[in-house]
Structure 1
């Protein structure tokens, strides 16, 4: 019977032999995979030399860090800060003239925005003053709160405007109280009664003998409010045109191409800006200026040259200095009597040019010969149109007769 120690020893020897054989096989396989070096003439004469083993060198990557640029002592580097450009402040507007024409703006909160826009439009015109007397909560429905037909004549007599601008109606979308009772909004009786009040205000404005511009309502964010504004604009247009007033439509400035309300649109310079407030009813600064842009053209037509920004006040501060001569030099001035420009003696002659007709020639001109004789004179000999004429009395040549056989 074999002992367990002998069996274990044999297994260990067998394992070592297998490992040694595997190591030898792998080494020969690796050498076989390497490309065989071709023999040269020196190898055949002196034998093949074994290449010297060169151990690989550990190449360390360069450290990442900030590289400092060497600076020579003769050059000094100074870090400069880029100066910030500041826009020059706008010059103050010119003062208004004492003889400036006035524009009176009346109406509700939309008219208040229109007045601000017109003030910005005529800011550089010293000959135009914009007076805004709008009442933001007023309208034509609640005449118990503010009666515009009754208050307008006193405002016109107080301010004495050259142009009257009216914009009203944004607060009138409510019940209307009449002697017959309350009329609901959007009913036919309501529109009839409201049209009468609009016609009354237009008549009062026309009686002031001042050019009247009635500005229509713009679009609003609430769709029902926008639809009502379209209906009210038709009433305003028909009423003001009956009294020879002018209606200005601003609808296209606050809607897109499909007629929908817009919050952001182009300003008067074509740049995209925000025109309306967050509520979709009030106006921003560019929106007020665009609202006034539609009225500005008509107002300038009535105001004339007073809208020019080149008007100045003429007083002692800007008149040119008039220099006067001292009394000693003023006495030495030699006066000259007036001279007649048509006097022939100025040129040393005794008559004016054209006083005597030039002498007429005794020889008739070619024109006279053509008129009198009906033919031009013969051209001189040698000229290109000269043709020798044969006289009519020239001898005629006779043809000899031939004998007949």
Structure 2
């Protein structure tokens, strides 16, 4: 039988057992101590801290002369957050939230919202103008004595219009201007179509009752007029405007809603703070202290001397132009926020698209600096 070295077997490679090192205990015949057994250290788990509820805290402005009170549902809360951010540095404008997250015109009794607004106004709340945004959860059937009616049916529309009128009538009777913010598109296409029809009901009722309707729909759709969760913010930078549920807003979206309504809010505030121009002084009565002595009969028939020509003042050229911040929001000549980029029209569409999109330079014209043709010989 063939002998193999220790640790080697045909077809296998076996590692030899580890040999113990030198030890004085084994040299004098003293048995080794057993190896120490280490027990795992178990640290007690600390209980997770309780979530801290986010509470909206309004900075008090005791000297504010303008009180903007926001009414509505959960979306109105985001509108109030954006409006309050716009006027956070102004001590003359205070923004107050009076919203009910689960509230809606069709999810409660017809008299519930008018009663709530009356309680707020009669409870000592000062108000200069009211901002209303409501209806995100009003797509529910209507039940009355004649049966159940589907949303946006003829019976539903008439009942909904009556509830909107009842709410607006409270502000109209008390002389309080109203800014009604329309609803934005939603992630669900069917819901967006219904909200678009509801916005038309809001617009008709608000304008008929003397209020101001603000359409924010163009600021939250893409070029195809469809819902989009992202888009340009108030500074023109791409940002996420809507929450993951496709209903609520992000902080950037709330700021954009506020900028749509801010133009109308400022217009109402300016009209309310403007004074009445002084009337022209009356003609002095003869015999009064302010009356001038009567002219002589000869001077009365003399023609008045010609008035000296006023010097023509030429406009002076300013040393520098107006300071335009790069981060200001773009607005239209009417003051509303620009939500989409301007579209090209006319004869300049084709050459602009050809040059900027396709990278093809326009043809040179004779005599222009880019005309590199040889002159005719």
- TM interval, short-chain normalised: 0.5 to 0.7
- The CA deviation at 1:183 is 1.8
1:314-366 deviation per Cα after TM superposition (whole angstroms, max 9, x unaligned): xxxxxxxxxxxxxxxxxxxxxxxxxxxxxxxxxxxxxxxxxxxxxxxxxxxxx
The yes-or-no answer on 1:114 pairing with 2:79 is yes
* 1:2-401 matched pairs, under 5 angstroms: 96-144=61-109, 147-157=112-122, 158-304=124-270
Q: Structure 1 residues 179, 205: CA separation in 2 closer, same or farther (over 3 Å shift)?
A: farther
> By percentage of residues, which structure has more helix?
1
Tell me, in whole angstroms, the C-alpha distance in 1 between the residues paired with 2:59 and 2:69: 20
User: What secondary structure is seen at the aligned counterpart in 1 of 2:252?
Assistant: helix
Tell me, in whole angstroms, the C-alpha distance in 2 between the residues paired with 1:200 and 1:146: 8
User: What secondary structure is seen at the aligned counterpart in 2 of 1:273?
Assistant: strand
Unaligned runs of 5+ in 2: 1-57, 274-377
- The CA deviation at 1:146 is 8.1
Tell me, in whole angstroms, the C-alpha distance in 2 between the residues paired with 1:144 and 1:194: 12
Q: Structure 1 residues 146, 293: CA separation in 2 closer, same or farther (over 3 Å shift)?
A: farther
User: What secondary structure is seen at the aligned counterpart in 1 of 2:91?
Assistant: coil
Q: Note if contact 2:107-2:140 (Cα within 8 Å) is conserved in structure 1.
A: no
- RMSD over aligned Cα, in angstroms? 2.2
| Structure 1 moving runs of 4+ over 6 Å | none
Q: Note if contact 1:108-1:134 (Cα within 8 Å) is conserved in structure 2.
A: yes
Unaligned runs of 5+ in 1: 1-92, 308-405
Tell me, in whole angstroms, the C-alpha distance in 2 between the residues paired with 1:263 and 1:159: 36
Q: Note if contact 1:94-1:126 (Cα within 8 Å) is conserved in structure 2.
A: no
Q: Structure 1 residues 271, 96: CA separation in 2 closer, same or farther (over 3 Å shift)?
A: same
Q: TM-score, normalised by structure 2?
A: 0.54
The residue aligned with 2:27 is: none
Tell me, in whole angstroms, the C-alpha distance in 1 between the residues paired with 2:59 and 2:221: 35
1:206-234 deviation per Cα after TM superposition (whole angstroms, max 9, x unaligned): 12211111111111111011101110011
Aligned residue pairs total: 215
1:160-198 deviation per Cα after TM superposition (whole angstroms, max 9, x unaligned): 210101111111000112243322223221112212211
